[in-house]
Structure 1
């Protein structure tokens, strides 16, 4: 993996969960929840985070229907990812995020995290789930292509 961090985004209508890898690309950690304001402000905030954390690639959760069809929200997220690709000049990958919110709730349940405060962290945890899935898939692909 290139030096620098990979950022994952769980893009919602009200909030964007943000997670990052460590610099070596071994772990995924929650960073913050961005409360959406305007499209311009959202992108300015994300671009500041990208610069600050020396991000080299971005993974955006792709909210497909369970059938795999593109949902209306997924179409908007695709536009968001395209604009982020243009504004950041970085590679932006879409990653299937089906069941990431379910997994995030399970993680918070296991940690006995209170219901009242979940809206402040659920999107971050979902972004970690998205990033971890993407990282695992990259590892598996690399393992399949290694000569024995």
Structure 2
């Protein structure tokens, strides 16, 4: 039996979302949730139903030395809200060090989008990088 995953790159303004393929082997960017315009928990719940997933991978931001700062606390607060509002879903925390930096570099090398255009996609690409790293570690 294969397992599908959603992955969240949680930020203060946006949440990048990625999903795995049906075999749980490859990550694909899905969307970016604007936290000011969308009820994030409700949207994530909808995505879990649409994607038929019972596992959400969430990136925990850490410093290069592995310590956690204020943003990690904010992400864990968000995870607590997910757990309270979405039943039957496993939450998996993973280290997301440098995922956004990697996504930003990838965009710079492959596109000529302006800064505003990059913001619309960098978070979902970062989520895909986090998820792919997790999927690769599982194998």
Scaled by the length of structure 1, what TM-score is found? 0.86
Show the counterpart of 1:65.
63
Cα separation, 2, equivalents of 1:99 and 1:128? 13
1:76 and 2:74 aligned? yes
Higher Cα Rg, which structure: 1
The CA RMSD measured in Å over matched residues stands at 1.6
Q: Residues of 1 paired with 2:112 and 2:94: CA distance? A: 26
Q: Which SS does the other structure have where 2:54 is aligned? A: strand
Moved more, 59-68 or 111-120: 111-120
**Consecutive unaligned residues in structure 1, runs of 5 or more:** 140-148
Residue 130 of structure 1: aligned partner: 130
- If the length of structure 2 is used for normalisation, what is the TM-score? 0.91
Query: Are residues 38 and 114 of structure 1, via their aligned partners in 2, closer, same or farther at CA, if it must alter by over 3 Å?
Result: closer
Which of residues 47, 50, 63 is equivalent to 2:48? 50
Number of positions where the alignment pairs a residue of Structure 1 with one of Structure 2: 137
- Match in the other structure for 2:7: 8
* Conserved 8 A contact 1:81-1:94: no
